[in-house]
Structure 1
């Protein structure tokens, strides 16, 4: 970490969505820097044991609040005294947003508005980071896999999730810009890394999906033939990049990609995962609704404004996940084990 992050020591940072993979990593890094974190999350995506054993969430932590940011009074109660806000809470599963658009609106639109209203009324918040997604780009300007996505390109989401993030970006600029409060918007590319745990009926978190299926000898599903391109970013780098956006002076009112700048096809990823699990078959399957062809991040603005770039290669990150999975085979859900047994 560079010196600029150490200005967070002694500050109080509100993190929404703090119990998830990304939020828990952000919170851990903030505490290492000497910041106090006020954490809020619904904790309804996984069993309680997953949060406790894998994400390190302690239910007896007085600074951890189990709650819904869409509840009108919650964020208003937590904001006073906070120096910074990282708004990462969302229904972030593309498939779940497609199946349940009203839930996506409640979490990603109503919840975001509650946070923005509370921050705008605050007298202490120095900056808020709104967590967005590369899904806002959809299939890009050319509509072909493998495009480079620049922050100044038109946004063309192809999913409910992506559309909700476009709204959040525009509303963040409108509300906090009018209130005179500094903000930054970060667009995450494909986040992965231990201890990521898959969800049933989801097609997100493909590295975790592939590794868990491969460990059981199940075929890896190449949706649409596996030609989609993703820019895979390890969760440790995602968390660090977010903190740089929170503190970098030049990130004021900026929208910044957080990616590696390298595109990888899903088929190439499957081959890489199979190198850790030889003999696992590949199977072509239909493309799910809302799954973009994808592309990779243009990282020039990130490197220029944040003075930082990710440090974990995809090869190293996949190897880390496979090693973690070998040490913790109990993380594989029972429903997936039953599929393998059948």
Structure 2
């Protein structure tokens, strides 16, 4: 098993993190600084109000290595890539609901922006590896393959008729079958990363994040992502928790600190060369179970069943065998502990449950 010394290669290295001021990006850049690296954070900082970046995520906008810009600005991206030993491409329109409402924006940011980054890296003579941040959304609902035998399909259907839907375990070799615009853009990004960087022989890794949660995550209007943050914020205000589709969807909730650590290990692990790796806990949890974990901290919170939004997958959980083998590492934060941490953080950061929440209903 690798230990923290596996990341010692990053000491003194310059790492470009696109989306570096966001929730995950800011955790990655903070960890890079702890490791002695120089992170360059490129972010347009338009996904949240400015105070969220500065007061909640802890982004220093006066730092010369915090670059306010867009991944679609090709000249800027080429300049920053030319200074970098490694690149983590995390910038994206990452809200499933927003991508569903505005697919043209999703295509512009997630496809055109990714192409700009890949072109810059392909032209570089310095970059050792790029990590492309993908998502479990590429798996969709994980429905059985069309080639699945009739006997196996019959057994699955019988079991599900008795026990309800059996959570799907997603393996990296499974076909990509996204059911959302967001998932489709990530599937394209994975394939394009392999094509563009494979042609020029630059190392890459693809990390498929499962459901990210944890402090300092904050909610946004008209979103149904980030279930722990939504539930905790609503419960803290005495509001009911909305179980879209009844709350039977399955998620593999992975703490943001573990997401950041797994990403950095994919950046430097020799075995991660040109690999696609799930980053998750390998533990399936229903949305209803998440609600109950949150309600334990806010007794009396009401649960309400609401319609399932478009593009919200039934989901599944990660196969983590490859992650453990390639990265020599596993996530450390258990969900119950992570929820408790988030609730404590929210109690000390009440502005993370914004005033507008009392007047609106998530889509």
Partner of 1:202: 223
The gaps in structure 2 that reach 5 residues or longer are 146-164
TM-score normalised by the chain length of structure 2: 0.92
Are the equivalent residues in 2 in contact too, given 1:145–1:227 (CA < 8 A)? no
Match of 1:5 among 4, 7, 27: 7
2:241 aligned partner: 220
Structure 1 residue 80 displacement after superposition: 1.0
Give the Cα–Cα distance (whole angstroms) in 2 for the partners of residues 145 and 75 of structure 1.
44
Name the structure 2 match of 1:299: 320
Unpaired runs of 5+ in structure 1? none
Cα deviations by residue, 1:205-256 (Å, 9 ceiling, x for unpaired):
0100000000111110000000000000000000000000000000000000
Is 1:239 the equivalent of 2:256? Answer: no
Residue in 1 that maps onto 2:196: 175
Question: Which residue of 170, 191, 206 maps to 1:185?
Answer: 206
Match 1:71 to one of 54, 70, 73? 73
**Residue pairs, 1:1-150, within 5 angstroms:** 2-142=4-144, 144=165, 146-150=167-171
Q: SS where residue 276 of structure 1 aligns?
A: coil
Superposition TM-score, scaled by structure 1 size: 0.98
Q: Residue in 2 aligned with 1:157? A: 178
Which SS does the other structure have where 1:73 is aligned?
helix
C-alpha separation in 1, matches of 2:303 and 2:37? 46
Name the CA distance, whole Å, in 2 between partners of 1:330 and 1:302: 36
Q: 2:269 aligns with which of 248, 253, 259?
A: 248
3-state secondary structure, aligned to 1:207: helix
Q: Is the 8 A contact 2:239 2:358 kept in 1?
A: no
Give the match's secondary structure for 2:309.
coil
Say how many residue pairs are matched: 340
Give CA-to-partner distance per residue, 1:240-291, whole Å, 9 cap, x none: 0000000000000000000000000001111111000000010000000000
State the Cα distance separating 1:105 from its structure 2 match.
Answer: 0.6
